[in-house]
Amino acid sequence: MDENQKEILKVSIFKHLDSGALKKISAGASSSMHSKGKILFIHGDEAQRFYFIKSGWVKLFRETLDGAQAIVDILPKGYIFGETSIFEDSIYPYSAEVVEPSEIISFSLKNLKSEIAENNQLALSMLSAMARYRRQQDQEIEHRSIQNAPQRLGCFLLRLANQDEVGVVKIHLPYDKTLIASRLGMQPETFSRALSKLKAQTGIRVQGATIEMDSLDSLVRYSCSACSSEFPCKDLHAAE
């Protein structure tokens, strides 16, 4: 458990916790490996634990009776999820599925809840994380209503790119193209065509899951013109 404790220390909302508080929250924590496709919980389940992604990727989604699926978010390592259920009705507001082999640590929500009630610093950290996430969602809603498919894809790529890199920029897509498509709210076919269009319009070079370009400029020009924030977006790496 020592290992886990060190790990969660890195997450923003636990950053300022002293070891006593950390110990209380970690009580009963358990770590396990999950393979692609593992469902961690379903929208509507009673929420008893929250989760930390030590490695891998997790998809949060909601689906309708007739099977249509809306991706709420796809989270990388370092993020936590399922923690908002300590407020209100204590059911999960989405389903969670592992989309790449992942190591996930789960924690008791009850412990978190009681610690938050006593520890104002933790409450403040959590408030700050929530505010940041809320902005990301505002941005997401904006993108979906203003940007078209190729622009959304371009924006997604820009967020993956390391903007400090000099010379040729290399991006590796972190998961399946089909999954990126649904993350961006479009069909796989639309994604594929959007990528072709980006190739033609911005000169990016695509080789499987690897994308190269001489500079980010043309992508920025193509995508960020249909966005209210200017590049580089402030919300990058929002969970760190």
Contact residues: a second copy, CB under 8 A: 43, 62-66, 68, 70-72, 84, 86-89, 93-94, 116-118, 120, 123-124, 126-128, 130-135, 137-138, 140-142, 144-146, 185, 225-228, 234
Select from 73, 140, 176, 235 the one that contacts DNA (CB under 7 A): 176
How near is the Cβ of 179 to DNA at its closest, in Å? 7
Q: 153 with 199: CB under 8 angstroms? A: no
Question: Which region, left, alpha or beta, applies to residue 94 given φ > 0 means left and ψ of -120 to 50 means alpha?
Answer: beta
Q: Which is nearer to a second copy, 148 or 192 (CB)?
A: 148
How near is the Cβ of 61 to DNA at its closest, in Å? 15
Question: Which one of 15-23, 39-47, 56-64, 173-181 is the stretch in contact with DNA (CB under 7 A)?
Answer: 173-181
Q: 216 with 156: CB under 8 angstroms? A: no
Q: Which is nearer to a second copy, 162 or 225 (CB)?
A: 225
- Which of a second copy, DNA, none does residue 74 bind (CB under 5 to 8 Å by kind)? none
**Crossing angle of helices 188-202 and 217-224, rounded to 10°:** 130
Residues 113-152 that bind DNA (CB under 7 A): 148-150
Q: Is residue 30 a contact point for DNA (CB under 7 A)?
A: no
Select from 55, 136, 192, 201 the one that contacts DNA (CB under 7 A): 192
Structure tokens, 51: 């989760």
How near is the Cβ of 112 to a second copy at its closest, in Å? 11
Contact residues for 79 (Cβ-Cβ < 8 A; gap 6+): 11, 52, 53, 58, 239
- Which of DNA, a second copy, none does residue 64 bind (CB under 5 to 8 Å by kind)? a second copy
How many CB atoms neighbour CB 43 within 10 A? Answer: 15
**Residue listed under structure tokens 């209210």:** 228
Q: Is residue 154 a contact point for DNA (CB under 7 A)?
A: no
- Which of a second copy, DNA, none does residue 114 bind (CB under 5 to 8 Å by kind)? none
How near is the Cβ of 219 to a second copy at its closest, in Å? 16
Counting beta carbons within 10 angstroms of the beta carbon of residue 3, is it exposed (0 to 12), middle (13 to 18) or buried (19 or more)? exposed
Q: How many CA atoms within 13 Å lie on the side-chain side of 149? A: 16
Q: In one letter, which amino acid is 24?
A: K
Q: What does the buried/exposed string (b/e) look like for 155-171 if buried means 16 or more CB atoms within 10 Å of the residue's CB?
A: bbbbeebeeeeeeebeb
Q: Is residue 186 a contact point for DNA (CB under 7 A)?
A: yes
Question: Which one of 18-26, 42-50, 71-79, 205-213 is the stretch in contact with DNA (CB under 7 A)?
Answer: 205-213
How many CB atoms neighbour CB 148 within 10 A? Answer: 14
Positions that interact with DNA (CB under 7 A): 148-150, 176-179, 185-196, 206, 208-209
